[in-house]
Structure 1
């Protein structure tokens, strides 16, 4: 990023950012729980079904943690989530997986890109908020299991590679489009660079998206796929 230090923002602006940010994160965690719970039904084995169900439970725990933070701030969780419902629901409607493997790839790509985006726009919030983001977006267990399962599937059927690589690219495009839309609509870019020229602001946003793509490429390479 252009400015790695936390920008200075006034208390009222910080309060707006934090409530909106928690609302965004809460709804994303809730829909992640719903999606993983639904996908678990199509698992090829009972072991896979159990593992995906456990990941869904973890996501719901994350949702509850963010919801509790909103309540502690005196905010209505439903009201905080509402502005993000249409955008996130539309993303999931556009990216319905065709099968088990596509559902795993969706979780692998969408959740990771979202996590990177949240960490970037949260860096101007207070330490407590950043800690919650780190806890909620700590997806090492989830990502590791999904990565291992996808690797095994690709090893068993190399013909999956081209289809999943193409699906991964589509998912990345959708995730980046949503991040741009949400950032614009709710002015989360103020968390990236509160002070500075418009040119510096645009540069900071461009660097963020370049980093999102770079991280995605690294994750795809870990699967042996081309981003």
Structure 2
């Protein structure tokens, strides 16, 4: 006898989004590490990948504890996130670092906004996933070390704007086409996207780049 799948709650849906996003980030960073200019860079990027996989495992544990099959709740987000990665393939090492710097932070901001409308347990887990201080510090330092070249600065500023645009487009698509859209009304969505842009601008200013 086939069991009828249990309805997915909003909390489980957010977990599904977070889990698949962290898994694909792990895969991307692991792959990008091979192109690092030094062994130290390679090790640092590999460590970031390990951290992302740890986040993936945390979310899967929460899903399993809630009675969900992690794969089933990740599936609705696979095409969206896979397309985001496909549309933002970095052309070189610096673009790869910028992709991590921008997309990981925008994703964390989105998790926070969604989790703030759910239970304390979800907010706590999202907070652990958002712990990007060490990652951001390394990415910031590594990018700033090479960013004195004016042509590289201009190229990365443009790349950062494209990454933000793609991230915002996919965030809107998530809210428009999945049950997570129930978390935010029209005015709240406008406020969310304005906040995502403000936060991105501040992060770009830290690098000395225009958003």
Establish whether residue 172 from structure 1 lines up as the match of residue 164 from structure 2.
yes
Instruction: Spell out, residue by residue over 1:80-126, the C-alpha distance to the aligned partner (whole angstroms, 9 max, x if none).
Output: 10110001000000100000000000000111111101110111211
The equivalent of 1:93 in structure 2 is 86
Alpha-carbon distance in 2 for matches of 1:220, 1:214: 10
In the TM superposition, 1:1-227 aligns within 5 A as 16-155=9-148, 157-192=149-184, 201-227=185-211
Q: Is the contact made by 1:189 and 1:205 (CA closer than 8 Å) also made in structure 2?
A: no
Q: How many residues align?
A: 206
RMSD: 1.3
Alpha-carbon distance in 2 for matches of 1:189, 1:219: 27
Alpha-carbon distance in 2 for matches of 1:190, 1:26: 20
With the length of structure 1 as denominator, give the TM-score of the two structures: 0.88
With the length of structure 2 as denominator, give the TM-score of the two structures: 0.95
Runs of 4+ residues over 6 Å off in structure 1: none
Structure 1 gaps of 5+ residues are 1-11, 193-200
Helix, strand or coil at the partner of 2:209: coil
Alpha-carbon distance in 1 for matches of 2:186, 2:119: 24
Helix, strand or coil at the partner of 1:222: helix
Alpha-carbon distance in 2 for matches of 1:87, 1:27: 10
Higher relative contact order (CA 8 A, sep 6+): 1
1:16 Cα offset (Å): 1.1
Instruction: Spell out, residue by residue over 1:26-64, the C-alpha distance to the aligned partner (whole angstroms, 9 max, x if none).
Output: 000000100000010000000000000000000000000
The answer to which of 168-177 and 116-125 deviates more is: 116-125
Alpha-carbon distance in 2 for matches of 1:88, 1:82: 10
